[in-house]
Structure 1
Amino acid sequence: MSDSSPKKLTTEQKEEPFLKLVFELGPLMIFFFANLRGEWLMRAFPALSAFGTPLLVATALFMAATVISLVASRIFMGKVPIMPLVSGVVVLVFGALSIWLQDETFIKMKPTIVNGLFAAVLLGGLVFGRSLLGYVFHSAFRLDDEGWRKLTLRWGLFFVFLAIINEVVWRNFSDDVWVNFKVWATMPITIAFTLAQMPLIMRHSVEPIGEEKKDEG
């Protein structure tokens, strides 16, 4: 009985990151290709012309894909992770504003708002002596207090960096460059940053209390 449980957990741990990646990348890929082929989509499906520009057509499809992704996450994973949920809500709000007001600025500022919000929450928590990242990732790994503080600070500053670089790109480059950056650069940068935190995580990892009790028994 005791041997079967760890195997089940290991299988779930292998499947969940893959599903998360699919649910997060899916809407982004639709956004990219819809923007790339926006004019063709508007010719093939004239009703889409009501949205205005190719970028706004891509925004509408992005919103629909985001809703589908969140629902699928709830069905297949049994939960909706907090970060995709917050990001999804902002996508819907700012996407709707962009389409309603025919102003692409709102959807372009969405990454700035989301990353700025995460940075404010994490860094603000540290000001009040709370490492809020631990509440989100405590089920994935266990760190001592110093480890959570350092990891929270790093992620807070990283979100500030993402917010700043999004502002630089959308304000100084074309729509296509911004969409390409959003889809093809942000995710690799985030993955690289995450991997770079592994030494810190390893240094500050602590053994789960349950495992200590088993060893003592």
Structure 2
Amino acid sequence: MKLLFDLFPVILFFLVYKLGDGNQEAAHALAIQYMGGLISGGNVSPAQSPIMLATAVAIVATVLQIIYLRARKRPIDGALWLSLGVIVVMGGATIYFHDENFIKWKPTILYWAFAVALFVSQFGFRQNLMRKLMEKQIKLPDEVWGRVGLAWMVFFAAIGVLNLVMAFVVFAGNTSAWVNFKVFGITAIFFVFFLGQAMMLSKHIQEDA
């Protein structure tokens, strides 16, 4: 359930984009009617409209996540606040300048921000954020926690670079293909990384037990 909650904006972004891409004239009419005042010049092309609508929906969905957690008096972690800030800034720029390149940078900025936060915390303040997040579920030796933190730093940095390569090189000019990669490709990469981490750490968890 938490996974679906975390992916809520991403899922809506994907669905709205695909619906809009398959019905560009209808998407164009909606974009002009409801977003014309937010767009520089007040107009976008039919081809641009799907990404504009999908971006707006992703922004609203992220705001709704914050409101829901506030209403339920649940803690809001820093990652969600950071995600909100990045989607509002980069998504807002996408809509105002009707330039999809801004939203394509959004995942990279977010992942790099995570990598920097982990690096500064672990090497600057001697606080391992991954340990704080995971140690209630698993117990590991101190030196292993250090490797876990480093692995996540490298992973976030690398996947940020990969997103740029896919967005502006491999799928340059093909927003639909990039959206597919963003939703399915990155999700699959995360799954493989999680699986690899679990396999690597399993022997240490068993020894600690």
Give the corresponding residue for 1:42: 28
Rg (Cα) greater in structure: 1
Structure 2 CA distance for aligned equivalents of residues 102 and 95 of structure 1: 10
Q: How does 1:60-71 map to 2 (within 5 A)?
A: 60-71=56-67
Give the corresponding residue for 1:103: 99
Q: How does 1:154-173 map to 2 (within 5 A)?
A: 154-172=151-169, 173=171
Change beyond 3 A, Cα 1:100–1:85: same
Structure 2 portions without partners, runs of 5+:
none
Percent identity of paired positions between Structure 1 and Structure 2: 30
Check conservation: 1:32, 1:183, Cα contact below 8 A. yes
Any idea what the Cα deviations from partners look like across 1:111-147, whole Å, max 9, x if unmatched? 1111111112223334334422112333333322112
Please report how far the alpha carbon of residue 83 of structure 1 lies from its aligned counterpart in structure 2 after TM superposition. 2.3
Structure 1 portions without partners, runs of 5+:
1-17, 208-217
Give the corresponding residue for 1:57: 53
Please report how far the alpha carbon of residue 75 of structure 1 lies from its aligned counterpart in structure 2 after TM superposition. 4.4
Check conservation: 1:146, 1:204, Cα contact below 8 A. no
Structure 2 CA distance for aligned equivalents of residues 101 and 25 of structure 1: 26
Any idea what the Cα deviations from partners look like across 1:162-210, whole Å, max 9, x if unmatched? 1011100111211111111111111121122112111333333446xxx
Check conservation: 1:73, 1:80, Cα contact below 8 A. yes
Check conservation: 2:114, 2:153, Cα contact below 8 A. yes
SS of 2:128 mapped into structure 1: coil
Q: RMSD of the alignment, in Å?
A: 2.3
Structure 2 CA distance for aligned equivalents of residues 203 and 154 of structure 1: 17
Give the corresponding residue for 2:191: 191
Give the corresponding residue for 2:130: 133
Check conservation: 2:31, 2:53, Cα contact below 8 A. no
Structure 2 CA distance for aligned equivalents of residues 192 and 88 of structure 1: 26
Give the corresponding residue for 2:146: 149
Normalising by the residue count of structure 1, what TM-score does the alignment of the two structures yield?
A: 0.77
Check conservation: 1:34, 1:41, Cα contact below 8 A. no
Check conservation: 1:23, 1:73, Cα contact below 8 A. no
SS of 1:37 mapped into structure 2: helix
